[in-house]
């Protein structure tokens, strides 16, 4: 009967949606674990050894060769915690000034490269990127605390000791919405069961990964069968009064939609996958 066909169709949609959500969530979790491991690598071989065993060239080579470990990421980078009192010494040592992050609302697109960025205005502290995977080399020397979303992430990461995610925003040199994952790196003075204050105090840097959602989700869904059949949207649903679409299209009939939950590992951000058939019954 017609009713059975509709039921069957609804069930098929639910299964396909759940499968896609599971694959995306698993891939995200795999890369989150490797970004975490990378933060420990930097702690061990950059901060834990004198002289450091990591420089930009080593970082670039290692992150490129281990890229397969971080599906969905478009690049990883490491920023140092620099208090204002150490800015001058830091800039002299590195031979460049700490730059202010400028978004394309403020500048024309061609100017949106760090070489053209202004020096960061005076702040209590900065988070300049010192190492970057080649794919995000344009953020080297940029103060990540001068970008609203990156700054929030840095503050939350170091107070919590957990991997944290930004809301979707337009990444530098990208035309798409993306998100950033951040882990704080601590010095060896961090006691077990540390308080927030002790965590902030012991922070020495921030290891971050960026995810260009549209291109990476597209790549992932492409690997699954029946891409022609269903349309998939991914939303940040943290703010229930305004969902943010991170990936998707306008195609399909939303009257019969299935919603699968997505857990990207940061309890203060919520995500969902919305699926529907591209063609009416």
Binding residues (CB under 6 A) for ligand WA2: these are 75, 77, 79, 129, 136, 139, 144, 147, 150, 153-154, 171-172, 180, 182, 206, 208, 210
**CB-wise, 43 or 153, nearer to ligand WA2?**
153
User: What span, in angstroms and rounded, lies between the C-alpha atoms of 171 and 176?
Assistant: 7
**CB-wise, 74 or 260, nearer to ligand WA2?**
74
Q: How far is the CB of 261 from ligand WA2 (least distance, A)?
A: 26
CA 227 to chain centroid, in Å, comes to 25
Closest CA to 49 of 206, 188, 196, 233: 188
Q: How far is the CB of 154 from ligand WA2 (least distance, A)?
A: 6
**CB-wise, 17 or 181, nearer to ligand WA2?**
181
DSSP states of 70-88: STT-SEEEEEE-EEGGGHH
Q: How far is the CB of 258 from ligand WA2 (least distance, A)?
A: 32
**CB-wise, 132 or 230, nearer to ligand WA2?**
132
Per-residue CA distances from 213 to 34, 171, 180, 241 (Å): 18, 10, 10, 22
Q: How far is the CB of 128 from ligand WA2 (least distance, A)?
A: 9
Instruction: Tell the residue number behind the tokens 């601590």, with chain if given.
Output: 186
Q: How many residues are present in the chain?
A: 281
Question: Tokens standing for 83?
Answer: 């208090």
Instruction: Tell the residue number behind the tokens 């995000």, with chain if given.
Output: 136
Alpha helices in 161-212 (DSSP H): 196-202
User: What span, in angstroms and rounded, lies between the C-alpha atoms of 67 and 212?
Assistant: 15
Q: How far is the CB of 87 from ligand WA2 (least distance, A)?
A: 18
Q: How far is the CB of 120 from ligand WA2 (least distance, A)?
A: 14
CB atoms within 10 A of CB 88: 9
- Residue 51: is the preceding peptide bond cis (ω within 30°)? yes
Q: How far is the CB of 251 from ligand WA2 (least distance, A)?
A: 29
User: What span, in angstroms and rounded, lies between the C-alpha atoms of 247 and 92?
Assistant: 42
């Amino acid at each position: 009967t017609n009713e059975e066909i509709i039921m069957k169709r609804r069930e098929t949609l639910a299964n396909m949606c759940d499968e896609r959500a599971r694959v995306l969530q698993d891939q995200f979790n795999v890369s989150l674990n490797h970004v975490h491991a990378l933060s420990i690598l930097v702690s061990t071989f950059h901060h834990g050894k004198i002289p450091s065993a990591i420089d930009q060239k080593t970082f670039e080579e290692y992150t490129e060769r281990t890229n397969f470990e971080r599906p969905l990421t478009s690049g990883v980078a490491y920023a140092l915690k620099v208090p204002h009192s150490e800015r001058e010494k830091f800039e002299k040592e590195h031979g460049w000034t700490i730059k202010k992050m400028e978004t394309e609302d403020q500048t024309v697109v061609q100017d949106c490269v760090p070489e053209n960025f202004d020096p960061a205005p005076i702040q209590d502290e900065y988070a300049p990127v010192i190492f970057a995977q080649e794919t995000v080399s344009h953020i080297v020397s940029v103060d990540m605390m001068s970008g609203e979303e990156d700054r929030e992430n840095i503050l939350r990461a170091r107070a919590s000791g957990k991997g944290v995610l930004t809301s979707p925003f337009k990444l530098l040199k990208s035309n798409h919405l993306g998100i950033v994952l951040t882990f704080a790196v601590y010095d060896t003075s961090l006691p077990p069961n540390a308080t927030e204050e002790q965590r902030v105090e012991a922070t020495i840097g921030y290891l971050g990964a960026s995810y260009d959602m549209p291109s990476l989700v597209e790549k992932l869904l492409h690997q699954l069968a029946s891409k022609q059949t269903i349309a998939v949207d991914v939303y940040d649903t943290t703010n229930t009064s305004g969902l943010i679409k991170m990936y998707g299209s306008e195609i399909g009939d939303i009257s019969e939609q299935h919603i699968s939950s997505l857990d990207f590992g940061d309890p203060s951000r919520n995500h969902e996958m919305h699926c529907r058939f591209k063609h009416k019954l």
